[in-house]
Amino acid sequence: MSIERLHSGPRMSQAVIHGGIVYLAGQVGAPGEDATAQTRAILASIDELLAEAGTDRSHLLTAMIWLADMADFAAMNVVWEEWIGGTNAPTRATGEVRLATPDYRVEIIVSAARP
């Protein structure tokens, strides 16, 4: 079974496809933006990468969401729920962590089936 990598660099790939599953690297928004703006940007990046990999958000399997501060949970959820649209929701976990820089508020990692 082959492994396909998208947007690969010396450290990581933005997407890896194997066995009909698309695994995305953690996506972040513009440093310094608020959680709402970062979440919107992240979800747009996820849409683009999934499309490039031959799938879309309706095929999401799982999502891991990291917040720099759980105080942003409600703001992130408003954008997330609007994006998911109430159907085909993946499994999901959300946790609070220290992200790569203090300017990042949200990071989202997803995997999706490729039809």
Q: What is the pLDDT of residues 51-67, one digit of tens each?
A: 999 999 999 999 999 99
How deeply is 92 buried, as exposed, middle or buried, from its count of CB atoms within 10 A (0-12, 13-18, 19+)? middle
Q: What is the pLDDT of residues 1-10, one digit of tens each?
A: 899 999 999 9
Mean pLDDT of the chain: 97
Is 31's pLDDT higher than 90? yes
Residues 74, 77, 79: CA angle, nearest 5 degrees:
120
Q: What is the pLDDT of residues 57-94, one digit of tens each?
A: 999 999 999 999 999 999 999 999 999 998 889 999 99
Domain boundaries along the sequence of the chain? 3-113
**E strand segments, 21-113:** 21-24, 27-28, 60-67, 91-96, 106-113
Is 109's pLDDT higher than 90? yes
Asked whether the whole model's pTM tops 0.85, one would answer yes
Domain covering 3-113 in this structure, CATH number:
3.30.1330.40
Residue type, position 92, single letter: R
Sorted by sequence, the CB contacts under 8 Å of residue 9 that are 6+ apart come out as none
Specify whether the backbone of 19 is left (phi greater than 0), alpha (psi in -120 to 50) or beta. left
